[in-house]
């Protein structure tokens, strides 16, 4: 249990790194949560600060999940062999990868370093899933890119990719005979469902035709001056 507790704590702390908040303060001196959609994630950063900041945040958030599921999880073997003995019904490697990745996602959503007010966890979840099984994530990423370029809706691309991801896992195992632990298939379905539920507000806006589109690779113009002027007049 000590080994499991240590790696879960480390994964949560890594996931808690509030990249969008720190980048926003570094680049513009603002808290990204107070502008745009209010989400502390890569999409809001991309929309408000432009592609260099957005890509930076995306990369950091992705790496948090990837490092937790692929590397931090393996530290348990150097601390103790507790997880192997406690969970004989569940292969230890998938168990450690999934639980550590989940801890990183929870850290991203509820970051210790940012008053537990974080983002939706899409990029961190993608990194985590890539650390567990990269081929399925690569296919889902292609789907995401195609939908986003065609529609200019990041939320729609995320929803379609989240729906496709578990189907790809099923196809790889039963269609191509890949040796994937059953727990990965179950978790893939739960992860896809969780992402869809997390985007329920976006679904409403898509249906109402009020969802924001990505119209440019440049940062939004005048948003900071307008909000500062509004605040000074209030």
The verdict on residue 224 lying in a domain is no
Each residue's pLDDT expressed in tens, for the chain with a length of 234 residues: 788 899 999 999 999 999 999 999 999 999 999 998 898 999 899 989 998 999 999 999 999 999 999 999 999 888 865 554 455 556 788 888 999 999 999 999 999 999 999 988 889 999 999 999 999 999 999 999 999 999 999 999 999 999 999 999 999 999 999 999 888 999 999 988 988 988 899 999 999 999 988 766 677 766 666 555 544 444
Residue range of the domain that includes 15: 2-219
The pLDDT score that the predictor gives to residue 79 is 81
Structure tokens at 65: 């999940």
- Sequence-separated (6 or more) residues with CB below 8 Å from residue 152: 213, 214, 215
Q: How many domains is the chain built from?
A: 1
Helices (H), 50-209: 51-70, 76-79, 82-86, 92-109, 122-132, 134-151, 154-170, 182-198, 200-208
Q: Does residue 131 fall inside a structural domain?
A: yes
Could you tell me if residue 234 is inside a domain?
no
Domain membership flag for residue 107: yes
Which stretch of DSSP H or E encloses residue 8? helix 2-15
Residue 153 neighbours by CB under 8 Å, 6+ apart: 147, 206, 211, 213, 214
- Given this model, what pLDDT does residue 203 score? 95
With contact defined as beta carbons under 8 Å apart, do 27 and 35 qualify? Answer: no
Q: What is the pLDDT of residue 216?
A: 64
Residue 23 lies in a domain: yes
Instruction: Compute CA distances 125 → 61, 114, 169, 208, 212, whole Å.
Output: 9, 19, 15, 27, 22
Is residue 229 in some structural domain?
Answer: no
Model pLDDT, residue 227: 52
230 falls within a domain: no
pLDDT of residue 52: 94
C-alpha distance from residue 170 to each of 94, 133, 176, 187 (Å): 16, 12, 9, 12
Q: What 8-state DSSP symbol labels residue 219?
A: P
- Distance from C-alpha of 107 to C-alpha of 15, rounded to nearest angstrom: 4
Q: Is residue 25 in a domain?
A: yes
């Amino acid at each position: 249990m000590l080994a499991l507790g240590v790696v879960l704590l480390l994964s949560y702390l890594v996931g808690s790194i509030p990249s969008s908040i720190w980048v926003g303060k570094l680049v513009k001196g603002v808290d990204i949560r107070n502008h745009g959609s209010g989400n502390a994630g890569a999409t809001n950063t991309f929309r408000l600060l432009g592609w260099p900041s957005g890509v930076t945040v995306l990369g950091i958030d992705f790496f948090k999940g990837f490092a937790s599921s692929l590397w931090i999880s393996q530290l348990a073997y150097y601390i103790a062999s507790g997880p192997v003995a406690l969970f004989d019904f569940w292969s230890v490697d998938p168990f450690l990868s999934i639980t550590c990745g989940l801890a990183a996602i929870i850290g991203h959503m509820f970051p210790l370093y940012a008053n537990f007010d974080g983002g939706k966890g899409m990029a961190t979840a993608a990194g985590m899933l890539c650390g567990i099984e990269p081929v399925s994530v690569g296919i889902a990423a292609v789907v995401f890119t195609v939908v986003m370029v065609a529609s200019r809706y990041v939320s729609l691309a995320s929803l379609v990719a989240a729906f496709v991801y578990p189907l790809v896992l099923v196809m790889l195992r039963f269609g191509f005979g890949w040796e994937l632990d059953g727990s990965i298939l179950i978790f893939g379905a739960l992860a896809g469902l969780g992402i869809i539920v997390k985007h329920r507000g976006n679904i409403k806006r898509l249906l109402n035709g009020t969802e924001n589109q990505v119209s440019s690779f440049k940062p939004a113009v005048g948003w900071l001056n307008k909000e500062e002027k509004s605040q000074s007049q209030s």
